[in-house]
Amino acid sequence: MLLSFALHGCCVKHHIHQAFCNAQKCVKSLTVRGLATSSNQLFVRRTSQRFVSQTRGAKTHKQKQQEEWKRKNKTILTYIAAAGVGMIGMSYAAVPLYRLYCQASGLGGTATAGHDTDLVETMKPVKDRIIKVTFNADTHASLQWNFRPQQSEIYIVPGETALAFYTAQNPTDKPVIGISTYNVVPFEAGQYFNKIQCFCFEEQRLNPHEEVDMPVFFYIDPEFDEDPRMARVDTITLSYTFFEAKEGQILPLPGYS
């Protein structure tokens, strides 16, 4: 009986030990699973945060690039606009300066302004060089005037004065102020075409339905006959263009861009 009790006690101890081992294994398994789950959660959390941080960083970098591009584009557009305004201003300023230069030098087909009184009185006509001078009249689209030359052509010789007339009429029911520019063709002959009296670059006010005659008193310098470039020139055209006079308006030179 004692032996049976001892064997029974050993069995109980064995079962208790086995149960204890099983319990330890379960605890270890649960612990490992918990640690694995915690590690996974921590990994996922850190990965998510890192991904979000990278995404935010990428967005921030992209936004900075866009802002930088916008700033550069604005700078470029500012430079382009400034250059455009400068070019326009230079083009408008070049017209009157060029016109004054041509009037003084006679270059570019613009008749030379002013004259030497002594030269007019003492110059000798070149009788064997006859030149036909034709006349042309134009008006700008904004000016409703009737403008025309009274003669289509005249014949003169270098060193001889001549008088021609233009007629301007205002057919409207309101007063209109006009101003004219002139030109000479061929251009090279402009330096020899001298005007003693002219209505160009002066404001002309015409009342409703008023008509006026405007004289042009001129001569061709005798040196015209000595210039080899003028050897084949036997016709010169004097052209006038009238514009409506407006404040701030800069008159162009006919025949030039």
How many angstroms separate the CA atoms of 14 and 32, rounded?
Answer: 27
The Cα–Cα gap between 253 and 241 comes to 9
Cis amide leading into 186 (omega within 30): yes
Predicted confidence (pLDDT) per residue in 138-171, tens digit: 999 989 999 999 999 999 999 999 999 999 999 9
Backbone angles phi, psi at 104, to 5 degrees: -75, -35
Q: What is the pLDDT of residue 74?
A: 74
Residues 6+ away with beta carbon under 8 Å from 47: none
Between 222 and 202, the more confident residue is 222
The confidence score (pLDDT) of residue 135 equals 97
Q: Quick: pLDDT tens for 43-72.
A: 546 555 655 455 555 557 777 777 877 777
Residue 24 has a pLDDT of 55
Residue partners of 181: CB distance under 8 A and separation at least 6: 99, 200, 201, 240, 241, 243, 251, 252, 253, 254
The rounded distance, in Å, linking the Cα atoms of 28 and 34 is: 10
What are the residue ranges spanned by the domains of the chain? 123-244
Tell me 186's DSSP state. S
Query: Terminus-to-terminus CA distance in the chain, angstroms?
Result: 137
Is 5's pLDDT higher than 90? no
pLDDT digits (tens, 9 = 90+) for 75-99: 777 767 666 555 544 433 434 444 4
Q: Give domain 123-244's CATH number out of 2.60.40.3680, 2.60.370.10, 1.10.10.60, 2.40.30.10.
A: 2.60.370.10
**pTM for this model (two decimals):** 0.54
